[in-house]
Amino acid sequence: MKMLINSLLIFITAAVIPQQSVPESASKKIEYPFKNAEHLHFEVNYGIMLAGYATIEVLEDINFKGRDCFIFKTTAKSRRAFDWIFKVRDWTMSYFDKERVHSLKFEKQLREGSYEVDIDIDYDQTEHKAYYFRERKGKKNKSAVINIPENVMDPLSALFYVRTKDLKIGDEIIIPATDNKKVYDIKVIVHKIETVEVPAGKFKCFVVEPVMADGGIFKKDGKVMVWLTADKKKMPVKMETKIYIGSIVAELDWFVSR
């Protein structure tokens, strides 16, 4: 389950910036296919075992740093019956500037077994700096200042940005992203369209794959595939990652979307 949670936080997670340009923050107003109060709820299965649940939701805060923002949030929680194997209580939150189309802040709290860490990243998109702070149980706190490219996105805001794109089979889309203290590129490959059935229903979907350009976390943690509805909403309805023994799958079981 931990591998899938990491994958959710990095792509489910998939910011997409066309190879020839940066986001249309100044030149073109984006029509967002999601709205405040969208709530997606997933069952997370390890093989035939229901391991836990994950959520993705959209909130709004028009006063954050004086900017009109979406607040995106994810949670991941293992079932009580699964806690004895590996207990998970994670959440992330992203503050996303609607007009300028980039991240303003990213927060992550991980509680995985005995591992506990809190991470905050503040983005100065004018000076192209990110201010990173990590607090880890039993470890020395760390902070750093990172140089970032223009309109960089955090992993969570990336997922929502890709939902605004006009996807086509065969697309390979590159995006600069940052998490922890690293800046990296993600290549998102649009493989095909297929119909998938999950507990929430049957959906026609784009099947996409996020790949780290430098062979980073996705290569290490296993291949990740994501199913996004082939309509204007492009909701994630299924995520799957292969691991050494079997696979971990998250499937949408209910949702609220306007």
- Tens of pLDDT, residue by residue over 85-134, are 889 999 999 999 999 999 999 999 999 889 999 999 999 999 999 999 99
Structure tokens at 138: 């039993």
- Band (17; pLDDT cuts 50, 70, 90): very low
Report the pLDDT averaged over residues 31-55: 92
In this prediction, residue 26 carries a pLDDT of: 43
| Lowest mean per-residue pLDDT among 16-25, 155-164, 192-201 | 16-25
Extract the tokens encoding 60: 């709004």
Q: What is the pLDDT of residues 55-81, one digit of tens each?
A: 999 998 778 888 999 999 999 999 998
14 falls in which pLDDT band (50, 70, 90)? Answer: very low
More confident residue, 146 or 15: 146
- SS3 of 154, please? coil
Tell me which residue range forms the domain holding 249. 2-256
Report pLDDT for 54.
Answer: 95
Question: What pLDDT is attached to residue 217?
Answer: 34
Tokens of 28: 């073109």
Residues 6+ apart with CB under 8 A from 150: 22, 125, 128
Tell me the whole-structure pTM to 2 decimals.
Answer: 0.85
CA 103 from chain centre, in angstroms, equals: 13
Q: Alpha-carbon torsion 67, 234, 155, 128, what sign?
A: negative
How many structural domains are present in the chain? 1
Phi then psi dihedrals of residue 87, to 5 deg: -85, 130
User: From CA 53, how far away is CA 146, in angstroms rounded?
Assistant: 33
Query: What is the average pLDDT across 5-10?
Result: 44
Distance of alpha carbon 119 from its chain centroid, rounded? Answer: 15
Q: Which residue has the higher pLDDT, 211 or 78?
A: 78
Express as a percent the part of the chain with pLDDT over 90.
Answer: 53
In whole angstroms, what is the distance from residue 19 CA to residue 167 CA? 14
**Average pLDDT, stretch 155-179?**
86
Q: Which residues touch 167 (CB under 8 Å, ≥6 apart)? A: 190, 206, 208, 228, 230, 234
CATH at 87: 2.40.360
